[in-house]
Structure 1
Amino acid sequence: MFGTYFRVGFYGCRFGDLDEQEFVYKEPSITKLAEISHRLEEFYSERFGDEVVVIIKDSNPVDKNKLDPNKAYLQITYVEPFFDTYELKERITYFDKNYNLRTFMYCTPFTLDGRAHGDLHEQYKRKAILTTSHAFPYIKTRINVIHKEEIILMPMEVAIEDMQKKTQELAFATHQDPADSKMLQMVLQGCVGTTVNQGPLEVAQVFLSEIPEDPKLFRHHNKLRLCFKDFTKRCEDALRKNKSLIGPDQKEYHRELERNYTKLREALFPLINRKIPQLYRPLPLPTTLTQRNSLSRSSFRRVEC
């Protein structure tokens, strides 16, 4: 049990030098967001007064102009260690992924009209990546944030990330050792169940039913299509694994999962097999290369003569 991490932002002149400062706190790994929020609220209420400390409930960017100057505001967000792709090749064990941590990430869903959540085609996501001045574990349980980077994901990029996450969950549940049939069935039900709102089929129907007009979205469209191909393959592997784990009392349940998967695959087939023609045009040869080839062919004919 290595730890759980939270980002804490301080806003208000009552905090003095801490005003507008952000820290990452390391807590015991069983700590919940409500626990650290209550503890910090209690601690600063003893210093400033009961009605002075306010906990900001969301993780949206804070506009200081909208805050009461006579109050002290705390914004507390759960964060996770963040690793680049190249780092994951080296950080293999559980210890590797919980040691020498300096970069953390949290996500905030939003829509352009101000709501946190909306329909699939209007759901954006803001990813904030925080870098601390020192690495955890450290002699202190909180370290100040020295750099913050924000990445905005468009709705199609959010869909790609969600489908990649579902595919990873399927792969993990399928290859888990020792096998856990309950976990596998729960993940499968969430992927192929017909009653799942905003499930894989709806995602495909929203983003893959038509080729986007904006050429900038062609690559995202193609990436999402390939994600669905991988997803259906993982569903098939998971069903095969589940069949080998179940007893006689669950055969009917497994047949229902297979029926749902067949319906899902048939509905997805025309959507994930339609390619964007513009992405598969043969690339024209550069002029210099074309001229060089024609010259070499003419030289060859002269030598042959």
Structure 2
Amino acid sequence: MYEAINGVYKILCPIHEANRDFKKLASVHGKLQDAFNKVYNQRMFGTYFRVGFYGCRFGDLDEQEFVYKEPSITKLAEISHRLEEFYSERFGDEVVVIIKDSNPVDKNKLDPNKAYLQITYVEPFFDTYELKERITYFDKNYNLRTFMYCTPFTLDGRAHGDLHEQYKRKAILTTSHAFPYIKTRINVIHKEEIILMPMEVAIEDMQKKTQELAFATHQDPADSKMLQMVLQGCVGTTVNQGPLEVAQVFLSEIPEDPKLFRHHNKLRLCFKDFTKRCEDALRKNKSLIGPDQKEYHRELERNYTKLREALFPLINRKIPQLYRPLPLKEIFHRALM
């Protein structure tokens, strides 16, 4: 809450100034300096988990979901062990069962004599318009009511499959109050699920890789090890289901379904942005390395050149239907709208 201190002292300072209370003014400005230093430095906020309760043994909690706020270094295994231990003391060791996945729970398949807990790591979720206002690290960790988690799946029931088979279920949770709150758990009052098709999953993955590249490139102070690790993951020749394979699977052919034209074009543009970010990252890495890493950098450049040449025909293949000129009648109609 260091960000709120300045606003409070803006009210108090004129009072101390009017009273000529310089001792208190000195104390206030000292506290402001400490607060601003804390704001400037990276701080550890909370980590969030969704906990679902299933089974009549939980009483009113049956089929209820909560978002728990934990210290930022808390791992999924830690909170799972703690809750399992807590409810085992209450119901018995043989009664409490932890559901290991994040798939939708079918109550008909559960043992009515047992108490089930489903624990999933969740992240704060922001709409695009919110990100324009939530600029700082504090903004993105304060007044949080919406959280998200993703579950990969395939149509035949497996969690993971080939790229063209990989779907993703995004669950967006809304809590009754915002974190931080006086309680460390808040109940979920609304849940929305969105199913992403394989091409949409590929778009999200490429956007994430591009964002990681941009972050590693512009990080201040620069971290050459992190930059090289991200670069290796993007242009390395041994990367399974890497960018080249994604492009070959989804961009080799124009989709037959017109509904996929926009997704195809969006993925193509994602790859253009991705290759530009790779160039920026290589340029940054070249300025950071010492003489002992020059050969490694040349290898990264060779791998990038091969990747760019392989991607070129794929990302420059446009769908004619998206770029044909509009009829004059339609242009006139849109102008009137």
* Aligned CA distance change for structure 1 residues 204 and 44 (closer, same or farther; 3 Å): same
Structure 1 residues 47, 272: CA separation in 2 closer, same or farther (over 3 Å shift)? same
The offset of 1:111, in angstroms, is: 0.2
Distance 2:217 2:89 in 1: 51
Give CA deviations for 1:195-241 in whole Å, capped at 9, x if unaligned: 00000000000000000000000000000000000000000010011
Task: Work out the CA distance in 2 between the residues paired with 1:303 and 1:127.
Answer: 37
State how far apart, in whole Å, the 1-side matches of 2:331 and 2:297 are.
Answer: 69
Residue 159 of structure 1, CA deviation: 0.1
Deviation (angstroms), 1:303: 26
Query: Structure 1 pair 70/238, CA: closer, same or farther in 2 (3 Å)?
Result: same
Residue 82 (1) aligns with residue 114 (2):
no
Give 1:2 shift.
1.4
CA deviation after TM superposition for structure 1 residue 299, in Å: 22
| TM-score, normalised with respect to structure 1 | 0.93
Partners of 1:17 and 1:191 lie apart in 2 by: 48
Post-superposition offset of 1:114: 0.2
- How far the C-alpha of 1:267 sits from its partner, in A, is 0.2
The CA deviation string for residues 252-290 of structure 1, in whole angstroms up to 9 with x for no partner, is: 0000000000000000000000100111111112xxxxx
Equivalent-residue separation in structure 1 for 2:106 and 2:158 (angstroms) = 16
Structure 1 residue 304: deviation in Å? 28
Note if 1:215 corresponds to 2:258.
yes
Secondary structure of the corresponding residue to residue 189 of structure 2: strand
SS at match of 1:195: coil
Structure 2 CA distance for partners of 1:303 and 1:62, relative to 1, 3 Å: closer
CA 1:300–1:76: 2 relative to 1, 3 Å = closer
Matches of 2:336 and 2:187, distance apart in 1: 75
Distance in 2 separating the partners of 1:110 and 1:65:
21
SS of residue matched to 2:151: strand
* 1:298 counterpart = 2:319: no
Distance 1:154 1:198 in 2: 17
TM-score normalised over the length of structure 2: 0.84
Q: Deviations over 1:174-206 (max 9, x none)?
A: 111111110100000000000000000000000
Mapped partners of 2:283, 2:220: distance in 1: 16
Q: Moved runs in structure 1, 4+ residues, more than 2 A?
A: 297-305
SS of aligned partner of 1:179: coil
Cα-to-partner distance string for 1:139-180 (whole Å, 9 max, x where unaligned): 100000000000000000000000000000000111111111
Q: Quick one: distance in 2 between partners of 1:190 and 1:196?
A: 7
Give the Cα separation in 1 of the matches to 2:336 and 2:171.
66
- Report the CA distance shift for 1:74/1:282 in structure 2 as closer, same or farther (over 3 A): same
| Secondary structure class of the residue paired with 1:143 | strand
Alpha-carbon distance between aligned partners in 1 of 2:64 and 2:332, rounded to the nearest angstrom: 72
CA distance in 1, matches of 2:145, 2:110: 30
Alignment identity in percent? 98
Q: 1:264 aligns with which of 290, 307, 325?
A: 307
Cα distance in structure 2, aligned partners of 1:304 and 1:76:
53
Q: Give CA deviations for 1:55-82 in whole Å, capped at 9, x if unaligned.
A: 0000000000000000000000000000
Measure the CA separation in 2 of the matches of 1:179 and 1:304: 52
SS in 2 for 1:74: strand
CA shift, 1:298, in A, is 21
- 2:246 corresponding residue in structure 1: 203
Deviation at 1:30, TM superposition (A): 0.6
